[in-house]
Chains A and B, each alone.
Chain A
Amino acid sequence: MCLAVPARVDSLDSAASTAIVDLDGIRKEVSTLLLDEVTVGDYVLVHVGYALERIDPVEAAKTLLLFDELKGIEP
């Protein structure tokens, strides 16, 4: 349910509440109406042309760290 992909905010048009986001070279205009605050460089979840939420880089790093702690465990 609900296909949404993380994309980086490249530029903002605060008057129009839109942003240009980049996903590995694909640039798309999305609405930022649903976000309280967003800055260039943030990663946001894009769904049907709207940015739904910002990705928290600290939390993402924590989750990844949990995977790395598994090193040494036999697959």
Chain B
Amino acid sequence: MSKLNIKSGLVEMAHGSGGRVSAVLIEELFVRHLGNELLSQGNDASAFEVPAGRMVISTDAHVVSPLFFPGGDIGSLSVHGTINDVVTSGAKPLCLSASFILEEGFPLAELEKIVLSMAEASSLAGVPIATGDTKVVERGKGDGVFISTTGIGLVPAGIHISGDRAEPGDAIISSGYIGDHGIAILSSRQGLEFGTQIQSDSAALHELVADMVEAVPDIHCLRDPTRGGLATTLNELCKQSSVGMQIREVDIAVRAEVRGACELLGLDPLYIANEGKMVCICSQKDADKLISVMQGHPLGRDATIIGEVVVDERQLVVMQTSFGGQRVVDWLAGEQLPRIC
């Protein structure tokens, strides 16, 4: 069987054909780096024991341009993103699946970097990739690499976290600085490049959430404010729970560089994506305890209470601005694009 030329080889249509060439790619790249007990069963379906209790499943398609960005790449992102979706239920993540859509002509060396990054993220998190698939599309029909990951998790007994549980009077907590991921991506996007120390906050939040759930089992809602940013996540929760929210701009952590980039490009940090943050809603009585637990974890060190849930049949998020006014924080309309006017 021929060896894979990782150093200078390119993805070819045959790599997705299901034949020998595919097998070599899978063996020398995916199994080699991602290998674990489940994957090495070598079957189309990986079998594992199911503990008793409630399970959750979540899936996420990862497309990002550029594929490599300050603080991460599509590989680690595809692991973190799905783990974070799974843990918004309070669950302990058990395993992931990963399916790759590769574009013909994509350098194998870059693919290896991505797979290594996935492997590292998955092993650090202790969440194995249990099954995978690879397809190749013709050159021009993909954007290098797309990765879909699905995660399965087990919800501890007695935990019922859901987006429809926000109640008037509840505290709204954000786990830290917002907008880092989106700004890191923009800073390396072609045509827009700017220099910054900002790194993507891409991280797996399962340990942070485990600590939170242990301290306060009655967390009402958890959600990771990815696309559309904090503003969109809060609006989603308002709609799902039929409530309104009052938030305070001064309590929302935004780095000076993120603010600077937003002013330069005409963007609003509230709508910029995050990949390592969690929004949490809980009873006012639990809020202080939760904050201190979160601040005790490196990924929640900058957690703050940013506002309260209120009765509002129009389901608005209203922000007290640091300027002293009030402003509706609406759903994101269209895309957040740099503007000139």
Q: How many residues of A contact B (CB 8 A)?
A: 15
Contact digits for B279-305, partner A, Cβ 8 Å, 1 yes 0 no: 000000000000000000000000000
Alpha-carbon distance between A47 and B91 when the two chains are bound, in angstroms: 47
| CB–CB B256/A24 < 8 A | yes
Residues on A with C-beta less than 8 A from B259 are 24
- A1-53 contacts to B, CB under 8 A, are 1-3, 5, 7, 20, 23-28, 46-48
Alpha-carbon distance between A47 and B260 when the two chains are bound, in angstroms: 14
| CB–CB A23/B260 < 8 A | yes
| CB–CB B256/A3 < 8 A | no
- B249-264 contacts to A, CB under 8 A, are 256-257, 259-261, 263-264
Residues on A with C-beta less than 8 A from B194 are 26-28
Known contacts A2-B341, A48-B340; decide if A27 and B195 are in contact (CB<8 Å).
yes
Cβ-neighbour of A3 out of B195, B257, B266 (below 8 A): B266
Residues on B with C-beta less than 8 A from A26 are 187, 194-196, 257, 260-261, 264
Alpha-carbon distance between A23 and B263 when the two chains are bound, in angstroms: 9
Interface residue? B339 (CB, 8 A): yes
Cβ-neighbour of B196 out of A5, A7, A27 (below 8 A): A27
| CB–CB A28/B264 < 8 A | yes
- B140-171 contacts to A, CB under 8 A, are none
| CB–CB B341/A28 < 8 A | no
Residues on B with C-beta less than 8 A from A27 are 194-196
Query: Nearest-CB distance from B103 to chain A (Å)?
Result: 31
Alpha-carbon distance between A46 and B194 when the two chains are bound, in angstroms: 13
Alpha-carbon distance between A27 and B195 when the two chains are bound, in angstroms: 5
Closest to B340 in A: A48
Alpha-carbon distance between A2 and B340 when the two chains are bound, in angstroms: 6
Interface residue? B197 (CB, 8 A): yes
Alpha-carbon distance between A24 and B339 when the two chains are bound, in angstroms: 19
Alpha-carbon distance between A62 and B187 when the two chains are bound, in angstroms: 35
| CB–CB B340/A28 < 8 A | no
Known contacts A5-B263, A5-B264; decide if A25 and B196 are in contact (CB<8 Å).
yes
- B192-212 contacts to A, CB under 8 A, are 194-198
Closest to B192 in A: A28
Alpha-carbon distance between A48 and B261 when the two chains are bound, in angstroms: 13
Residues on B with C-beta less than 8 A from A24 are 256-257, 259-260
Residues on B with C-beta less than 8 A from A20 are 195
Residues on B with C-beta less than 8 A from A1 are 341
- 7 example contacts (A-B, Cβ-Cβ < 8 A) are as follows A3-B266, A3-B339, A5-B263, A23-B264, A24-B260, A25-B198, A46-B264
**Shortest 7 CB-CB contacts between residues of A and residues of B:** A27-B195, A24-B260, A25-B257, A23-B260, A26-B260, A24-B256, A28-B194
